[in-house]
Structure 1
Amino acid sequence: MKLRVLHLPKWYPNRYDDQDGDFVARHIAAIAQASPDEEPLQTQNAVVVAVVARGPLPSLIDADVSLSGAVPTWRYYYRARLTGWAWLDRVLKLLLWLVCITRGMWAVRQYWGGQKQDIVHAHVLLRTGAVALWLKWWQRTPYLITEHSTIFLPTNAWRLGWLRGRVAALLVRQAAAFTPVSEDLRRALARLGGHNTRTVVIPNVVDTDLFHLPDKLETRQGLLNVAAFNEQAKNLSGILRTIARLRTEHPTLGIHLRIAGYGAAENQMHQLATDLGLLADGTVEFLGKLSSVEVAKEMQRAQAFVLFSNYENLPCVLIEAQASGLPAVATAVNGVPELLPSDGSKGLLVPAGNEEALAQALLTVLQGPASSFDAAALRAAAVARFGYPAVGAAFRRVYQQIANKE
């Protein structure tokens, strides 16, 4: 059996940000990988995504179409400002988004020789799910939802709002399947009323060829943090304050932290590190935006990964660290304990916002014997659970269930 799958992501790498929604792109790549001959189901995939333009466009809508590779992709860009009236532009941008998605779906159908999709796969709610629901009603096409967003977590209820929460729940209930990336996110949607009898937690995926053990484990040194500079979520300031404290209280430890990432709070964090004296003596280094290849090299050189988030979903960076045989110190929030069990075999968990606990955990990891964590076991578990073959097969099993029922 071969199914035509139309993917509708909210976030996806684009001309303005090649890392935007890269975790969604990896999911789709895993699905599109050639499945073993013994698998009864094969997929033919296509992606349609629409993004607000961050620069001038020659017209209201512009497009990038890529038909090479395993997944043909139609990327559309639409103007951010049309009239100068915010309320009107908000409505017009939604209409432009719908125009882009409609054009893309028509283009995919033409590419498939006039054949419509067998399944719609919406990645990240809400509007992608709304289009999927419309296609279910109009064309009787089943859809599934994969959710990544932290907006549905209880801590973000004030941002989500009552109406959007109810709409999300409806979209989940109407879906042929729901595949959140963590058990915690499943519970979050269930609290909103988003129950689905075919719910399968399918985690994020890691390129285990790119993220692997270093040639020499004994050369690993220092701490690494890779995250978006979103202070509300990531609490990088808490890490910086803790590093400053450890440098003062344990001067012989030679503590060193390398930070990779970019985002809105970047200048703020640079200033805080300067004020704490962490840049002058090289205790902290900001690496800026890194490619996946560069991140993999950083993980191979580090001794431990640190993530002090106030809330999370299922952080790809922790999965990448595990594939690199790198233990982590992270906060016990949301989906993180699903990656770091309480037995400490893959790293240490600390309470969110507790800088004292973070300091003690970092000392434990940095001062403990190198044999405290089995790097090979960390990697083996990551390959088995988060590798492209494992995640791709999990999605194809869900597709098969949908196809059999329909």
Structure 2
Amino acid sequence: MNQKKLHVLFICGWYPSRVLPTNGDFIERHAQAVAKQHKVSVIHLITDKKIKKDIELSTKVINEIETHIAYLKEVKNPIKKIYLFHKAFSLLLKKVSVFDIVHLNELFPFGIFSLYLKWFKKKPFIISEHWTAYKHPLSNKISFIQKTISKIIAKNASFICPVSNDLASSMQSLDLKGNYKRVPNVVNTNLFFPDHKKNEIFTITHVSNMNDKHKNVKGLLHVIAKLEVENIDFKFNIIGKNSIKYLKYANKLGLDSKKIKFMNQIPHTEIAKELRNSNLFVLFSNYENLPCVILESFSCGLPVISTNVGGISEYFPDNFGKLIIKNDEEKLKEEILNFYNKKNNVATKDEMHTYVKSLFSEQAIANNFTNLYYKTLSI
């Protein structure tokens, strides 16, 4: 059985589309990793405010993955919305050839489709989960109905694969019982690799979704302002969708415009280049699971300073950077200065890259999922 190439159906609550081009790109990378060993088809449904007809279907082969996306008309009536989602799923499912197993991404609400396929089509499923909202106190906003349905979905999954043990604990605290097996995010180690050239100016980089409540961007800018008082020669790159919205705040703090560069959302290939051309990556988040960008930084041989939140510490070797308490601006400034003055014992770039390749490469992640697929089908 371990010799058989499987057809895996990815059902995705998040996935890149024309509406949100980078939404769920970490799921896309999981799919691409699995596609190295198996046939993969993707089903994704998303509301598109720009369309006038109820449902518009799109089927494309992207990076060897059959990608089936249904764009749904925005409707306010919840009954009609449920009807449209059900109809769209049925239409997309007809486009998918016979498959062996379902790989669900985002437990609720798309897990309802997985339940249907298990109960009526005899197709087992596993779950990958990334959602930070399972963590307290964000979990307080999850409704009773969602919790109840989620428990049924979790119970029926062969395996539940959160990206970190911390996320697994958060899910289990909500009584989402199941067979948990941690499978982390994937890194394209062929794209994210070290460059051994030296930068003329010490360069600090931050990449995020620019959500201040989540990423504490303003707190990070406070620290950059404090660094300027230290009279050191550095550059700070802030990269993410609409990062320029923080320009006014940076001006308010009196930041030197020559030292800070605001960059809009850029392709993954460009992010890799920016990381290779940096001396330090900084993430000052209030909460996280397992940010891909930290692993990508390691893969480029770039040390990281991050707040010790979520599952970050589970994959953060001591000599790869520093973990600090969230909101501790003085400690962040101190650690940046330590790296600037080369006071820290840091692993070599090649050691960092090798670490990432062994645990997070497409090959490593595909092997993890393949083992779980075979175990599921042998039950």
TM range (shorter): over 0.9
Correspondence for 1:355: 329
Matches within 5 A, 1:127-206: 127-197=109-179, 199-206=180-187
Say whether the 8 Å CA contact 2:32–2:63 is kept in structure 1.
Answer: no
- The 1:350–1:69 alpha-carbon spacing in structure 2 relative to 1, beyond 3 Å, is closer
Matches within 5 A, 1:93-112: 93-108=81-96, 112=97
Matches within 5 A, 1:45-84: 45-55=40-50, 57-67=51-61, 69-80=63-74, 82=75
- Which deviations, in whole Å up to 9, do the C-alpha atoms of 1:318-341 show, x marking residues without a partner? 010010000100000011111224
Q: What CA distance in whole angstroms lies between the structure 1 residues aligned with 2:135 and 2:342?
A: 35
- The 1:376–1:312 alpha-carbon spacing in structure 2 relative to 1, beyond 3 Å, is same
**Residue identity in the other structure for 2:262:** F
- Residue ranges of structure 2 left out of the alignment (5+ in a row): none
SS in 2 for 1:2: coil
Q: What CA distance in whole angstroms lies between the structure 2 residues aligned with 1:17 and 1:173?
A: 31
**Residue identity in the other structure for 1:26:** R
| Residue 121 (structure 1) aligned to one of 97, 103, 113 | 103
**Residue identity in the other structure for 1:271:** K
- Residue ranges of structure 1 left out of the alignment (5+ in a row): 35-42
- Which deviations, in whole Å up to 9, do the C-alpha atoms of 1:173-227 show, x marking residues without a partner? 2101111111111111111112223x21111001111111014146573100000
Say whether the 8 Å CA contact 1:166–1:192 is kept in structure 2.
Answer: no
SS in 1 for 2:372: helix
Say whether the 8 Å CA contact 2:303–2:346 is kept in structure 1.
Answer: no
Correspondence for 1:332: 308
Matches within 5 A, 1:218-257: 221-248=202-229, 250-251=230-231, 253-257=232-236
Correspondence for 2:250: 273
Q: What CA distance in whole angstroms lies between the structure 1 residues aligned with 2:343 and 2:200?
A: 13
- The 1:192–1:361 alpha-carbon spacing in structure 2 relative to 1, beyond 3 Å, is same
- Which deviations, in whole Å up to 9, do the C-alpha atoms of 1:332-369 show, x marking residues without a partner? 0011111224xx31110111111111111111122215
Q: Which portions of structure 1, spanning 4 or more consecutive aligned residues, are displaced by more than 6 angstroms?
A: none
Q: What CA distance in whole angstroms lies between the structure 1 residues aligned with 2:313 and 2:137?
A: 17
Q: What CA distance in whole angstroms lies between the structure 1 residues aligned with 2:374 and 2:201?
A: 44
Say whether the 8 Å CA contact 1:243–1:255 is kept in structure 2.
Answer: no
Say whether the 8 Å CA contact 2:201–2:234 is kept in structure 1.
Answer: no
Say whether the 8 Å CA contact 2:305–2:322 is kept in structure 1.
Answer: yes
SS in 1 for 2:65: coil
- Which deviations, in whole Å up to 9, do the C-alpha atoms of 1:9-33 show, x marking residues without a partner? 1111111232111100000110010
- Which deviations, in whole Å up to 9, do the C-alpha atoms of 1:147-191 show, x marking residues without a partner? 011011113123223432343233212101111111111111111
SS in 1 for 2:102: strand
TM-score of the aligned structures, taking structure 2 as reference length: 0.94
Aligned length: 376
| Residue 320 (structure 2) aligned to one of 322, 346, 349 | 346
Correspondence for 2:355: 381
SS in 1 for 2:226: helix
TM-score of the aligned structures, taking structure 1 as reference length: 0.88
**Residue identity in the other structure for 1:50:** L
Q: What CA distance in whole angstroms lies between the structure 2 residues aligned with 1:151 and 1:221?
A: 36
